Structure 1
Amino acid sequence: MKTKYQLLSLTLVLWAMIFQQANAQDKPVYKITGKVIDGSTSETVPYAAAALMNAATMQNVAGAVADMDGEFVITGFKDGEYVLQVSFMGFEAYTSSVISISATNSNVKLGEIKLEQEAMGLEEVTVQGQRQLIEEKVDRTIYNAENDLTTAGGDASDVLRRVPMLSVDLDGNVSMRGSSNILVLIDGKQSAIVASNISDALKQIPAEEIKSVEVITSPSAKYDAEGTGGVLNIITKKNNLQGASLNVNSSAGLRGSNLGLNASLKRGKMGWTLGGFGRAGYNILGSFENTQTLINPDGSSSLIQQQADTRNNMLFGRYNLGWDYEMSKKDFLTASASIGLRNMRNKQDGLLTETFQEEELISALLRDVNTDNLSNTIDLNFNYTRTFDKPQKEFSVSGLYSRNNNTNDFINSLYNGTFTEIISRVKNENLGVNEEYTIQLDYVSPIGNSKNQILEYGAKNILRKVTSDFAYFTADGSDGPFVRVDDATFSNEFTYDQNVTAAYASYTLGLGNDYTVKGGLRYEYTVIDADFRDSNLPADIPSYGVFVPSFNFGKKLTNGNMVKAAYNRRIQRPSLQFLNPNLNQANPQQQSQGNPLLEPELTDNFELGYSTYIGGSSLNFSSYFRNTTGSIQPVRNVSEDDVIFTTFENIGRERAVGMSVFTNISVSGKFSLNGSIDTYYSMLTNGLENPMFAASNEGFVVSGRLFGNYTLPKDWQIQAFTFVRGRQVQLQGSAGGFGMYGMSINKQFNEKRGTIGIGADNFFTPEFRINNELVTPTIVQQSVVGMRNMNFKINFSYRIGKLSVDGGRRKKRGVTNDDMKEGGEGAAGAMMNNN
């Protein structure tokens, strides 16, 4: 226990030093501020690049990127004569007159800077400077993935490994600051496949289609109450350009290949987008080793050893059609349809299970296990938005229909005693369906004529219908017919209908130019109806309501730095992966089954953050405390035939205190570095008193990442990345750590319409080996998972067509359902982002 108090004391001391430095006023603060707007529409221009140049040499001295409100702050320069250049794609570059900086004129406020739209085609535009890879906003951290070419040929999991405060294991399971109960949104919306399985959903999104990733650790009341860890919003690439274009993205490598085509057509007030992407994974070899010691009530023990070679083949696809229409200057319609598929076929060749008692071999069984995890998804969205003459006033109605069909089957073939022929087979078929119907209304309005007071309120209803149809079959020999097992425990259908009705109100108050306070309250009422088709198994789950408060505070300091604090309460409902009563016996020695009677988790989050600038670099600190009650945790028992059986109960309590530090360093106009370190102290207990089942664990968890980018002459570019995740503390043991790295070299050609390059991942590591440990009073298990993830690839992309900038900039809202705890490394919850 001493270590956690040491960490808490260290955190308090660090914050005391930070605030002491923040309030020091011994030296003049050199700062240039401004706001970038569209000269024709007077709307703000987010992400415009501002570069401060030496007036004599025109060398880049410092710079910044405008935030969502078009505002920028440049620091990290000294006395001298400077010229400011502001640029953004589709606008003519702005160049200021000479600005004289001295100790008596150190804080220059330029006010509004108007950019005029450029009349020429997009391919003739030269964009000056490079947008930052990581940006820190008042309520979120943004990772600009489009600037990272090392992810070419990968998927969303590869991108998320580069994002501060996130951890992604080799299976694609995501956690945020140690909590896997997070909401993952795609363009502010949640697909049914995300609600069913986040790691599978991420594999369907190609890295090349991701523009940015938003990490929101303290969501406001307008977000669904789901997701105790926070919100993760993946923004895909879109445009508001006139004309027609076709983009081609492809990659071929040792472990996988992909091909993507995306087309857009914009004429006047109506626009269409059509896209498709397919990815194949092959030659993915690995290994599996497992050693478990089972302690019997009489004090004797059994030793079971398992090993197998593994082979995985994957095929993913995602296809979408989008439409938007500007009915008038104030009324906008958008609609989209998206189809996704995921086929994963995993094989364990020669799964050998040996059982020893008193060091004597008593049995040896050989099996082949083939597992098929297949799914298809459809999402239909429709959104109507109306704006008003009063700035920031807006009303929207959104609808969503989403369906995911998931097939998770396996065939287990058992060989005879001489391992020469198959004597029996067991097959499990499990078809899962997750349907969601959602309607949502949102209204935003300033109070009176004040721009510093904003009221937001709205309502939402989600109807979710989940079905799990499962059955077991047995067969003799290698080709005998399968016969269904007539037992409701093994063959049945489970239905789970959930209706969530919610209402929220949120109030934002700006005090002067330095303080912002935002508070809100959300209420959600959940009704659940669950049933088994062929039995009287209990599935009576009571309805429940919950109030969810939230509070956010931010203060801009005089030197351009920022301090922010937040509190929120979240709820985490279990998803089908925790509820599913299908008995999974793919590995007969380690069986698992969901619990339909699970209740939601409740979590209180406290956060404190500070961001500053040192020279031309940014530095961000954030600390937090998280307390979860009713945590869903696994419960493991050992049967008489030495089988480990796992199910889930609301018996856990989780607490974590931690800190995240990340920095973005601009070494020069051509070379940049950014990195982060995340660490927290985790304290877990299941609250049971029986010594046979009681469990607790605690310890530090550390992870980090580093990214570098260097621009060479003649349109060449080198990028490199590395990520390390330390050992993960779990309630009954730990999950081993691992590291990954990659590098790419790319060349742009034909006026930057095309890019070709080569990349390599983990080129010094033939195989990853992840060591996992499980320790209970009756079970001691050591398992090793191996994966050969060395990869070499060739990347190619090309853009065809001529586009010009559409001066209109329309606001879009969408539906997000964010209320399901996921499996894997933990659970994924849900919230919504309508921005």
Structure 2
Amino acid sequence: MKILNQLLFTGLLIFGISLQSSFAQTEGAEKPIFKISGKITEKGSEDPIPYAAVALLEAESGKSIAGAVADFEGEFIITNFGSGKYQVVVSLMGYESFNTPVLTISDSNPSINIGTLSLTSDAVALQEVTVMGQRDLIEEKVDRTIYNAENDKTLLGGDATDVMRRVPMLSVDMDGNVSMRGSSNILVLINGKQSAIVATNVSEALKQIPAEEIKAIEVITSPSAKYDAEGTGGVINIVTKKNNLQGATLNINSSAGIRGSNLGLNASLKQGKMGWTLGGFGRSGYNILGFFENNQLVTNADGSTLNIIQNADTRSNMLFGRYNLGWDYDIDKYNFLTASVSFGVRNMRNNQDDLFTETFAEEVLVSSLLRDVNVNNLSNNVDVNFNYTKTYEKPMKEFSISSLYSQNNQTNDFINSLYNGTFDDIVSRIKNNNLGRNQEFTVQLDYVLPIGSGKDKILEYGAKNILRRAQSDFSYFEAEGADGEFVEVDNPTLSNEFNYDQNVTAAYTSYTTNFLKNYSLKAGLRYEYTSINADFKTAESETEIPSYGLFVPSLNLSRKLANGNMLKAAYNRRVQRPFLNFLNPNVNAANPQQISQGNPLLDPELTDNYELAYSTFTKGMTLNFTTYFRNTTGSIQPVRTVLEDDIIFTTYENIGYEKAYGVSIFSNINLSGKFSLNGSIDTYYARLNNGLEDPLYAASNEGFVVSGRLFANYSLPKNWQLQAFGFARGRQVQLQGFGGGFGMYSLNINKQFNERRGSIGFGAENFFTSVFTIKNELQTPTIMQQSTIGMRNMNFKINFNYRIGKLSMEPSRRKKRGVTNDDIKEGGDSNGGANMNNN
């Protein structure tokens, strides 16, 4: 908890500095506020250029005084300087630098809007371009928060899970499960698209994306009607690195450490109107050792109690790979085609060695059992995209057709070996084979129409259809001894085939307008109709699941205040459909004392989100306050009961509600051109109730959940860079207990060489903590369980990156579109039960 306390102290310090700055400004209100603003566009197309570096130099000495980074609309504001004569210099890779004439700032002329600055494309070698200033790691936009992962060198050798841990408003547990402001029901997109691999298991999909391939993470807490209605917590869009380059290049990146290694190769070729990309990487994990301890007290119907104690050593090995081939073609000035094919594999093998179970009745030992458990979680996936985009002479007018076919094949098997009474020989074995397949075919149409001659009124509408089929073929086998032949169990509950077909048809319209000079409004309405068919192979009749339609409204309102400050208010309704992880009827008995099973009859859950946010900028500091309320009805919650032999059985039901009242504070401080510091504190008060009246099963819980993060970056001379990161999350409130808190930290030093073509660095993670321990607690009227999970997560690594080839920049002419699917509520494991990886 030291890390959490330090983060809380840092957050309070940031808040105090902000208040002090605000009071200082109030006391000195008679002093003018000096400001220079403007907008950056591309010469010829007049499209806005985002993320350009803007530096303010003293006219006489050329010394850098202040700076800024253009936002997504190309607009910038420079503050934090005094009166004098200055020049504004704009720089961006692939464009010629732009120098303004000398500007005079005085008490009588404190604010200047220099209007539109047009940059000219400059087709020079990338390594010859120097970008002035340091781009912000985190940016606040009107409707989203953007984490620029490409500027974070501590991520080298990591994956998307490591990136997510650094993003404000997001929390990632030790298993890689992501939540946004306390909700794990989120829409996860990759470049605006969702594939079947993400639909099957978000946490595992994130481990397949190397951090070096990620350009930015966009967090959208109040999505408009254009986005699918699913994802009660909001939308996360992972933006991978793209380019509009001419020529050929090959990039090699690798990392080797005591817990894992990776190797990536990425090539691109762009000649004229046609471009190709070919990429691939592999990532392995090893020496992932840990342990768990479990103590559960079960009360039987007759009032007697049993105390069951379990412990085991754990070890895991993993091997991930992903390969992609992309193609794009500029038919002419207004018509574009893009296509891509990607393949992925994931092999994870988890072992529980010497799973020792002792059962006590009234403090008398009843039995002692020893087991070995081997779990294989293997999958492969393929995604095929084809998109057509048509633009028009009128700026921002666009029509697009996007299609996606995606298939994910998953194998989740386990073998449970039971030893004899003397623990010398294996007396029997149980095997569960669970073959799963998730297929999707999606077609989407989008049309963007600016109204009038300006860009302040935009009408968007579109339609979409998703055909999805999920299959689960599961069976149980028994064998005698260590070498006996496995025989299938003749029981339709344990051996069966489940098919789940889902068709979602949607249409939306959204209208954006600016009014009263400083106000912006984005309102939309979406309608979705869902039909479902589900059946078991051995059942006499189909499982009846009714179709349903939903209206999903959204409203976003913002007001620009003085000095670039902004106030935002938003409301939206979200829906979360359950999918295979919750529906899968396969019985997961990897740990025989805690078995779980999905429920094919689950309905979707509905959530209403309300949000109010304020962003301010003062003396090199960006400060954002957000308060929100989230109300979920028909919440999908686990229901735990005690079966014969004192086994805890977990399934899922649409019961109860979840309410969350939260506050998020985030700040980014640029102390100098070389040192930056940012951090955030997220806290919410959760109230959960399953709505049941039977005292044996009724459950409710409430309490605060606090998390925080801190990131520091320092640029050293001679192309050296030092970065540090820390994250901590306190105890998490759950319906029937609490999830333990944990913290993580890392340090990285990096050196660029050969005109920044290559870099080499050294990283250390959790170097003062040999073992992480997380304590979880479960409480019901009949069950009391306390478990401790341990993980040896200390890691030291060497990072290397090198680019071969010479490229020149071609100005971007359009924004690529793609399919954006999200129809699932993630949770549990891939067998439909609670997470049993460490039980």
Which TM-score applies when normalising by structure 2?
A: 0.95
Residue type of the partner of 1:466? A
Residue type of the partner of 1:609? A
Are the counterparts in 1 of residues 598 and 831 from structure 2 also a CA contact under 8 Å? no
Q: Counterpart in 1 of 2:71?
A: 67
Deviation of 1:22 after TM superposition, in Å, equals 11
CA distance in 1: counterparts of 2:782 and 2:402, whole angstroms: 52
Are the counterparts in 2 of residues 184 and 233 from structure 1 also a CA contact under 8 Å? yes
CA RMSD of aligned residues (A): 2.0
Q: Counterpart in 2 of 1:6?
A: none
For residue 620 of structure 1, the aligned residue among 618, 624, 627 is 624
SS in 2 for 1:765: coil
For residue 287 of structure 2, the aligned residue among 255, 265, 283 is 283
1:397-450 CA distances to partner (integer Å, 9 max, x unpaired)?
000000000100000000000000000000000011000000000001012334
For residue 412 of structure 2, the aligned residue among 404, 408, 423 is 408
**1:467 to 2:471 alignment:** yes
Are the counterparts in 2 of residues 174 and 825 from structure 1 also a CA contact under 8 Å? no
Deviation of 1:69 after TM superposition, in Å, equals 1.1
**1:564 to 2:568 alignment:** yes
CA distance in 2: counterparts of 1:680 and 1:267, whole angstroms: 52
Residue type of the partner of 2:499? T
Deviation of 1:79 after TM superposition, in Å, equals 2.1
Q: Residues 716-755 of structure 1: matches in 2 within 5 Å?
A: 716-755=720-759
Q: Residues 701-780 of structure 1: matches in 2 within 5 Å?
A: 701-780=705-784
Are the counterparts in 1 of residues 588 and 831 from structure 2 also a CA contact under 8 Å? no
Identity of aligned residues (%): 69
Residue type of the partner of 2:117? I
CA distance in 2: counterparts of 1:339 and 1:84, whole angstroms: 47
Are the counterparts in 1 of residues 509 and 526 from structure 2 also a CA contact under 8 Å? yes
1:270-328 CA distances to partner (integer Å, 9 max, x unpaired)?
00000001000000000011000011223221100000000000001111110000001
Deviation of 1:27 after TM superposition, in Å, equals 4.9
Deviation of 1:23 after TM superposition, in Å, equals 14
Deviation of 1:806 after TM superposition, in Å, equals 1.0
Q: Residues 506-545 of structure 1: matches in 2 within 5 Å?
A: 506-536=510-540, 539-545=543-549
**1:370 to 2:413 alignment:** no
For residue 190 of structure 1, the aligned residue among 194, 200, 210 is 194
Residue type of the partner of 1:476? E
Residue type of the partner of 1:100? T
Change over 3 Å in CA distance of 1:145–1:261 after alignment to 2:
same
Are the counterparts in 2 of residues 717 and 745 from structure 1 also a CA contact under 8 Å? yes
Q: Counterpart in 1 of 2:335?
A: 331
CA distance in 1: counterparts of 2:376 and 2:106, whole angstroms: 68
**1:427 to 2:431 alignment:** yes
Change over 3 Å in CA distance of 1:22–1:166 after alignment to 2:
farther
Residue type of the partner of 1:318? R
Are the counterparts in 2 of residues 678 and 703 from structure 1 also a CA contact under 8 Å? yes
Residue type of the partner of 1:424? S
CA distance in 1: counterparts of 2:68 and 2:500, whole angstroms: 50
CA distance in 1: counterparts of 2:674 and 2:297, whole angstroms: 56
**1:76 to 2:80 alignment:** yes
Deviation of 1:516 after TM superposition, in Å, equals 0.4
CA distance in 2: counterparts of 1:450 and 1:750, whole angstroms: 47
SS in 1 for 2:653: strand
Q: Counterpart in 1 of 2:361?
A: 357
CA distance in 1: counterparts of 2:236 and 2:248, whole angstroms: 31
Are the counterparts in 2 of residues 240 and 809 from structure 1 also a CA contact under 8 Å? no
Deviation of 1:825 after TM superposition, in Å, equals 9.8
Are the counterparts in 2 of residues 625 and 657 from structure 1 also a CA contact under 8 Å? yes
Q: Residues 78-477 of structure 1: matches in 2 within 5 Å?
A: 78-477=82-481
1:662-701 CA distances to partner (integer Å, 9 max, x unpaired)?
1111111111111111010001000111111110000000
Gaps of 5+ in 2: 1-14, 833-839
Gaps of 5+ in 1: 1-10, 829-835
CA distance in 2: counterparts of 1:507 and 1:474, whole angstroms: 61
CA distance in 2: counterparts of 1:290 and 1:824, whole angstroms: 18
CA distance in 1: counterparts of 2:545 and 2:25, whole angstroms: 54
Q: Counterpart in 1 of 2:556?
A: 552
Residue type of the partner of 2:616? T
Which TM-score applies when normalising by structure 1?
A: 0.96
Q: Counterpart in 1 of 2:9?
A: none
Are the counterparts in 2 of residues 180 and 826 from structure 1 also a CA contact under 8 Å? no
Change over 3 Å in CA distance of 1:578–1:808 after alignment to 2:
closer
For residue 811 of structure 2, the aligned residue among 804, 807, 811 is 807
Are the counterparts in 2 of residues 180 and 827 from structure 1 also a CA contact under 8 Å? no
Farther-moved stretch of structure 1 (72-81 vs 526-535): 72-81
Change over 3 Å in CA distance of 1:21–1:424 after alignment to 2:
farther
Deviation of 1:827 after TM superposition, in Å, equals 14
CA distance in 2: counterparts of 1:620 and 1:793, whole angstroms: 34
**1:483 to 2:487 alignment:** yes
**1:34 to 2:38 alignment:** yes
Are the counterparts in 2 of residues 821 and 827 from structure 1 also a CA contact under 8 Å? no
CA distance in 1: counterparts of 2:820 and 2:666, whole angstroms: 29
Change over 3 Å in CA distance of 1:556–1:436 after alignment to 2:
same
Are the counterparts in 1 of residues 510 and 525 from structure 2 also a CA contact under 8 Å? yes
Residue type of the partner of 1:123? Q
Are the counterparts in 2 of residues 37 and 45 from structure 1 also a CA contact under 8 Å? yes
Residue type of the partner of 1:221? A
Residue type of the partner of 1:728? Q
CA distance in 2: counterparts of 1:156 and 1:266, whole angstroms: 27
Are the counterparts in 1 of residues 58 and 85 from structure 2 also a CA contact under 8 Å? yes
Count, aligned residues: 815
Q: Counterpart in 1 of 2:661?
A: 657
Farther-moved stretch of structure 1 (797-806 vs 19-28): 19-28
Q: Counterpart in 2 of 1:500?
A: 504
Are the counterparts in 2 of residues 574 and 598 from structure 1 also a CA contact under 8 Å? yes
Deviation of 1:160 after TM superposition, in Å, equals 0.3
Deviation of 1:99 after TM superposition, in Å, equals 1.9
Deviation of 1:537 after TM superposition, in Å, equals 7.3
Deviation of 1:40 after TM superposition, in Å, equals 3.7
1:594-653 CA distances to partner (integer Å, 9 max, x unpaired)?
000000000000000111101122111111000000000000000121000000000020
SS in 2 for 1:559: helix
CA distance in 1: counterparts of 2:710 and 2:26, whole angstroms: 27
Residue type of the partner of 2:797? K
Deviation of 1:68 after TM superposition, in Å, equals 1.2
Deviation of 1:21 after TM superposition, in Å, equals 9.3
Are the counterparts in 2 of residues 225 and 571 from structure 1 also a CA contact under 8 Å? yes
CA distance in 1: counterparts of 2:428 and 2:388, whole angstroms: 58
Are the counterparts in 2 of residues 345 and 372 from structure 1 also a CA contact under 8 Å? yes
Residue type of the partner of 2:791? M
SS in 2 for 1:153: coil
Deviation of 1:91 after TM superposition, in Å, equals 1.2
